[in-house]
Chains A and B, each alone.
Chain A
């Protein structure tokens, strides 16, 4: 039993390592740059731990936007948000301003950071994906 678990763990580690070597540090360094963008443009509202401000600014922890389709997520950053609709059943009273002034790369970086931190595990966002959404308008 124990032996098999060990094998399992080793296999797991090996696949993780393999996956990492396959995708050259791209996602990793994007997230590192994204942290900087986050601290400058998002932290004040969504907080250092992504927990938001109760009933005022929503959390970025496992919300349907953060983990969901990339297009609506990218659009939140590009266009901001002042909808009177609940996010995962809770209302938030503040407005989020548009951040269209950020470069495609910066938006990709910050969303990659958000999607791989605060307990989130979702794929990276690329500058090409941001560009495509921006061009759609």
Chain B
């Protein structure tokens, strides 16, 4: 009874709040469409950049895609009927939000007249009309089906190249391929069998119905879990962000201190060629020593190196920050240094101890298809608090990234479902 009353109270409060937000939004938008939020929607940005929350309370807003007309498709990871994809259409300053589809999942992309979206097992596509609107919302074509989903690392993120291929992440349903997942001291399974059907990027045709493992090919292996990935049109390569392994200190305190567990391994960016192996679960990348290290499950002790045949990352970031979105910026709105560089949405860590890290959008400059400088924080303040002890305290967590036709950058948040639009005017 009491909880019910409290709940009721909360719900009505939320109701009031959202009515308030809506009201604010409407007046703001209708009075002057181009006006920016002086508070930058709570974000901190480099000088001359501005942020605006263009939608709120969408639910678990994961990846995002923007059409050449400026309509925005957001993949919502929700099992609620009719709530798989949100379409945001700016109707003369008033944001019109509609939803359709019923499946959880993260991936969404637009390519050659189709909208692609993924559940945690399948990939669908929807034909777009000449206004880039979905023609038949209730009958997508299922192009890929039956991909492994054992709850852990379930996101089937997607990216497309210019030759009619689609790349799908199939994350490892395990932390480090132990006999007993995440158990203290449990050894790695020899010849890790998870790599046969997961822990990599699979390549399929973008236009063929009902493909499954046998119809596609393993493009790259040894990747524990990739949520953010993007095709780089400059170098014609797939780039991916790997979520590095957890638990070096928790499970192997004989080899690692709490601090080492916090700082290892690096979150890595890889540039992939067909057949590449990034080494999971046998190795991890130590971003402090810049070395591939043998995993303790496979005989490592924090000192032995390994992975002679595994590729090296092209960029390494602090541990556990959970890179969920990757976007190569090709627009002309932002200053020249951003052109062709990579934006990365870090969802924020949960398994650091004594203070979490991430919850920001980072930037890495690129030249000729390779990183050309150190990474930097681009947008911060999503969490709404300074000293984050546990991820539940974060009011927003960045997840997906997209570029609008005018070169604006869009960022999703999967806590409350806010969509941020970041613009540059130099002022």
Quote the shortest CB–CB distance from B317 to chain A (angstroms): 20
> Is B184 close to A, CB under 8 A?
yes
Contacts of B351 in A (CB 8 A): 44-45
Q: Which of B77, B353, B415 has the most A CB atoms < 10 Å from its CB? A: B353
Query: Is the CB–CB distance between A51 and B390 below 8 Å?
Result: yes
Residue in B182, B247, B390 whose beta carbon sits within 8 Å of that of A47 in the complex:
B390
**A54-B415, A97-B181 known; A59 and B392 CB under 8 Å?**
yes
**A44-B247, A44-B353, A95-B152 known; A54 and B391 CB under 8 Å?**
yes
Instruction: Mark interface residues in A46-75 (1 if CB within 8 Å of B CB, else 0).
Output: 011101111111010000000000000000
Quote the shortest CB–CB distance from A46 to chain B (angstroms): 9
Q: How far is the CA of A102 from the CA of B391 in the complex (A)?
A: 27
B contacts with A: majority SS: loop
Contacts of B60 in A (CB 8 A): 55
> Is A43 close to B, CB under 8 A?
yes
Q: How far is the CA of A57 from the CA of B250 in the complex (A)?
A: 16
> Is A4 close to B, CB under 8 A?
no
Q: Which of A41, A91, A95 has the most B CB atoms < 10 Å from its CB? A: A95
Q: How far is the CA of A97 from the CA of B391 in the complex (A)?
A: 21
Query: Is the CB–CB distance between B350 and A98 below 8 Å?
Result: no
Query: Is the CB–CB distance between B180 and A97 below 8 Å?
Result: yes
> Is B183 close to A, CB under 8 A?
yes
Query: Is the CB–CB distance between B184 and A56 below 8 Å?
Result: no
Contacts of A84 in B (CB 8 A): 151
> Is A93 close to B, CB under 8 A?
yes
**A95-B181, A97-B182 known; A47 and B250 CB under 8 Å?**
no
Residue in A45, A48, A91, A97 whose beta carbon sits within 8 Å of that of B183 in the complex:
A97
Quote the shortest CB–CB distance from B187 to chain A (angstroms): 13
Contacts of B389 in A (CB 8 A): 47-49
> Is B276 close to A, CB under 8 A?
no
How many positions in chain B have a CB within 8 Å of any CB in the partner chain?
Answer: 24
**A44-B250, A56-B350 known; A94 and B392 CB under 8 Å?**
no
Contacts of A91 in B (CB 8 A): 151
Contacts of B183 in A (CB 8 A): 80, 97-98
> Is B153 close to A, CB under 8 A?
yes
Q: How far is the CA of A60 from the CA of B246 in the complex (A)?
A: 21
Query: Is the CB–CB distance between A47 and B152 below 8 Å?
Result: no
Contacts of A45 in B (CB 8 A): 351
> Is B154 close to A, CB under 8 A?
yes
**A44-B247, A82-B151 known; A97 and B184 CB under 8 Å?**
yes
Contacts of B153 in A (CB 8 A): 93
Q: State the A residues within 8 Å of B (CB).
A: 41, 43-45, 47-49, 51-57, 59, 80, 82, 84, 91-98, 101
Which A-B residue pairs are the 9 nearest by beta carbons? A47-B390, A97-B183, A51-B392, A53-B350, A97-B182, A93-B151, A95-B181, A44-B250, A44-B351
| 11 new A-B contacts at CB < 8 Å, known A47-B390, A47-B392, A84-B151 | A44-B247, A48-B389, A49-B389, A52-B392, A53-B390, A53-B391, A54-B415, A82-B151, A82-B181, A93-B151, A94-B182
